[in-house]
Amino acid sequence: MIRVTAHYPARPGARFDWSYYLEQHIPMLRDRFGARMLRCEVYRGVSGMGGAPAPYVCSVHMHFASLPSFQETFDLHGAAVLAELPRYTDIAR
């Protein structure tokens, strides 16, 4: 199994629409990636060490059976997934 992770770094003034991300984007990922994506975990940054600001607004971990499984899936659907970015964030990953 492999895990593919996307981090969205916390930056002052950055926009991240949690409602859209959780209600639209993640279901779209599940729909497009289908059974090839074995699991998807979304984490919200709350704080860093010692009460410092969180380094990331969001991290998402997507689990696939193998690297070829992910690559085939992303080759088919990656453009659509990446096209969604402006709908929920202005953070460049």
Where residue 61 sits, what CATH number does that domain have?
Answer: 3.30.70.100
18: in domain: yes
16: in domain: yes
80: in domain: yes
Q: What's the predicted TM-score (pTM) here? A: 0.89
Chain segment 5-55, per-residue pLDDT in tens: 999 999 999 999 999 999 999 999 999 999 999 999 999 999 888 888 899
Domain enclosing residue 42, as ranges: 2-88
93: in domain: no
Q: Which structure tokens are listed for 78?
A: 């990656």
Residue burial 70-85, b: 16+ Cβ < 10 Å; e: rest: beebbeebeeebeeee
Q: Which structure tokens are listed for 79?
A: 């453009």
Q: Which structure tokens are listed for 14?
A: 């950055």
